[in-house]
Chain A
């Protein structure tokens, strides 16, 4: 004991004590902590709703409230329906990264199975539009020209002529519709996410929605034709003017400089 007590003021004494304490705590924890039992799914028939509820508690409840009743940070989810969940989570908008004027689309972090479970839970909170089936949103056999007219009448004032997107007030915006999944376009029209008004079947019928989806498929997707050449973003005269100034006039001035620099030989002789 004398040896120990003699060394108790050694500069490393504190470190040794700390290490011992840590080892003891760790050892005790491993000894007494509940064993991580392999959780066999004892209730194989557990409803998607239950699973969705768990996912909801982790990813959504902090803003939308534990029962989906909404808080100051997020709206109530009672009655928004499965379609809204499928759109918001399926495009990566939800869960939100941070509050703001508008929640942007980002990388999707849930699998489709998890999204379906979440949707089932939210749908159980109150009746709302359900996720559309493929024949509902498929552009097959729809009237493209009719869709164009409907798009210009109902959508273009925010999303631009061909759905390139546009600005709304105070930092809000209508996003580009380029290459958006037809299902998500359908759901967005059905549920009116975030700043968008909703267009239920009483406003735009299922057929109307299909037409719009078909129109967008033709004019605003990766493989839509641009007969005139470079689209310049499809934004109209602003990008055309910028291109005209920089490449049109800029190029011509470069040509002028080139011509002016090549003067007649007579000067040298």
Chain B
């Protein structure tokens, strides 16, 4: 019987949870980890959750994918189908196709899991695209986040190919056509094309190997790399801390928001289940890739409306829009009709991947940026991004030119010509229009800062003049509208140095000055109001 009432009695046992934590801390050092990380702050904005959508759909894909591997047979052995789907009874097909039919009709929950897996993939890629555009248009890719931008870009590209190898696995007529398409693109590569094709397919197309090979690539190689990149991506987000929009109290050196524990743990954890639930609901409502009506792949069959999943759609568009040029020289054929789209495919993606480096070279800015840009305050970047998205979307139309033609009662040839012209003209128009809109919005911001918000109240002055009453903005709003930096265009410098000797200016410097002027020159950004301007106009003279 103890007589002491002290709670710090060393003989009294600590609660079980504390003892477990102590044990773990002694081995893993979790206390210091928790101290620094549990109060990690994240800012609140719906667009910062786009990346979360991607992360969660990726996890959903992995979970459902594991279930599918339990029943899928990655084999091209020919079997006769005797499962429960009547319209394919007795048909010869590969084991891969037959096992996918079994997953769809004879495995408990198989069809739902298949559809969750596929819909999650569609959403994953679409989410990455929108996430990437959010990062692009807010300038979140600037120093120190260029590497993380590249990680994200690689995730998008690897996601495309993981998706492609995944939907090719069932060996159905639609995906088989897609694999044949890809083989065509490989063959169009000069010199190495035929070797790569023979190597990849283990001989002539389609052979009996590609499903097993794609299976390894789809479930092991690519997701493995992607998982690593996702982890790296998150570590870097953690290390750099999250960006935030400008606002009162928000600086380049702080993060204003809520702590990880308990707020974001609950929010993000809850959001995972919302995402999972939502995708499961979509998968329960809408059919995707109904391979049973597509039929097994046979190289002698093909269907109209044969498109890849949306994320490969722009590649399909490039091929569909390209005229079928080819060059025959010394007994060799160079299929430009396929090879040029293949090159464009790489270039088109490469341009957006390398953009952060191009912009930082033009601005010459070596500072860190943790405050996001409003898209209007970077008109040239925003216009470039919209132009890129325009080309992308036009190519998506090109990829679905037959569906567009039948559903809008157009000629497929007209649609193709629209795409051919639109691919070049569309981005130019989009660039100019977007830039004008951005500059207009900048002017409006300037007006709002200097003259206040239009209140809609019309007042008549004693001498008869009518004026509209302008309400001055709050200090917070004024700060938000004027917090951004504005660059000055880079100058090449005087043509001669201080000794009167002609300075050497190389082409790169000239190009940089030219680009810098296009970005930040007189007509390419509206100078934000200065404090002096604001004081002068609000001091009462000439104020309306």
Contact = CB atoms under 8 A, between A and B. Distances in A.
A261 B49 CA distance: 12
B302 interface: yes
A237 B167 CA distance: 11
Given A145-B87, A173-B406, A259 B274 contact: yes
B403 interface: yes
A35 to B, nearest CB: 50
Interface stretch (B118-126, B144-152, B338-346, B358-366): B118-126
A173 B130 CA distance: 35
A158 interface: yes
A40 interface: no
B251 to A, nearest CB: 19
Given A168-B412, A169-B412, A264-B258, A249 B304 contact: no
Of B123, B270, B304, most buried by chain A (CB within 10 Å of CB) is B304
Please classify the interface of chain B as helix (H, G, I), strand (E, B), loop, or mixed, using the class held by over half of its residues. Answer: helix
Interface in A144-165: 144-145, 148-149, 152-153, 156-162, 164-165
B123 A249 contact: yes
B285 interface: yes
A230 B412 CA distance: 27
Contacts of A168: 412
A166 B305 contact: yes
Contact of B310 (A148, A237, A251): A237
A227 interface: yes
Given A148-B88, A165-B406, A153 B127 contact: no
Contacts of A236: 174, 305-307
Interface stretch (B239-247, B286-294, B467-475): B286-294
B68 to A, nearest CB: 15
A167 B413 CA distance: 10
A32 to B, nearest CB: 52
A261 B303 CA distance: 47
B477 interface: no
Interface in B33-56: 44-46, 48-50, 52-53
Nearest to A166: B304
Nearest to A219: B293
Contact of A255 (B274, B286, B290, B303): B274
A260 interface: yes
A196 interface: no
Interface stretch (A73-81, A133-141, A201-209, A239-247): A239-247
A211 B89 CA distance: 13
Nearest to A156: B303
A215 interface: yes
A30 interface: no
Interface string B158-176: 0000000000000001100
Interface residues on B, range: 35 or more
A174 interface: yes
A228 B267 contact: no
A234 interface: yes
A257 B127 CA distance: 14
Interface string B285-319: 11111101111001011111111111001000000
Of A149, A242, A266, most buried by chain B (CB within 10 Å of CB) is A149
Contacts of A34: none
Contacts of B414: 171
Contacts, number: 209
Contacts of A266: 258, 263
A152 B301 contact: yes
A248 B83 CA distance: 32
Contacts of A158: 304
A39 to B, nearest CB: 44
A170 interface: yes
A18 interface: no
A46 interface: no
Contacts of A164: 305
Contact of A248 (B87, B279, B401): B279
B480 to A, nearest CB: 18
Contact of B303 (A161, A238, A251, A264): A161
A125 interface: no
B278 interface: yes
Contact of B309 (A101, A159, A241, A249): A241
Please classify the interface of chain A as helix (H, G, I), strand (E, B), loop, or mixed, using the class held by over half of its residues. Answer: helix
A235 interface: yes
Contact of A249 (B104, B130, B267, B410): B130
Contacts of B403: 167, 235, 238-239
A252 interface: yes
Given A101-B411, A149-B295, A248-B122, A174 B285 contact: no
Nearest to B85: A227
B402 A167 contact: yes
A226 interface: yes
Nearest to A248: B123
A263 interface: yes
A231 interface: yes
A219 B267 CA distance: 45
B282 interface: yes
B87 A252 contact: no
Interface in B84-143: 86-91, 104-105, 111, 115, 119, 122-123, 126-127, 130
A170 B122 CA distance: 32
A174 B305 CA distance: 11
A149 B173 CA distance: 11
Contacts of A161: 173-174, 293-295, 303, 305
A157 B49 CA distance: 43
Given A145-B88, A228-B115, A238 B288 contact: no
B305 A160 contact: yes
Interface in B373-412: 399-403, 405-406, 410-412
Contacts of B413: 169-171
Contacts of A124: none
A241 B287 contact: no
A130 to B, nearest CB: 31
Given A162-B293, A227-B105, A264-B258, A241 B122 contact: yes
A96 interface: no
A260 B46 contact: yes
B49 A226 contact: no
A61 interface: no
A228 B413 CA distance: 34
A127 interface: no
B440 interface: no
23 contacts: A145-B86, A149-B295, A152-B173, A152-B303, A153-B301, A164-B305, A169-B413, A171-B414, A226-B290, A227-B111, A229-B285, A229-B287, A232-B286, A234-B293, A236-B174, A240-B309, A240-B310, A244-B123, A248-B279, A253-B50, A259-B46, A264-B263, A266-B263
Given A101-B411, A238-B313, A256-B50, 17 more contacts: A148-B91, A156-B302, A166-B304, A170-B413, A218-B86, A227-B287, A227-B290, A230-B286, A231-B290, A236-B307, A241-B309, A245-B122, A248-B282, A249-B130, A259-B271, A259-B274, A260-B49
Q: Which 9 A-B pairs have the closest CB atoms?
A: A228-B287, A241-B310, A166-B304, A244-B122, A171-B411, A167-B402, A260-B46, A156-B303, A256-B49
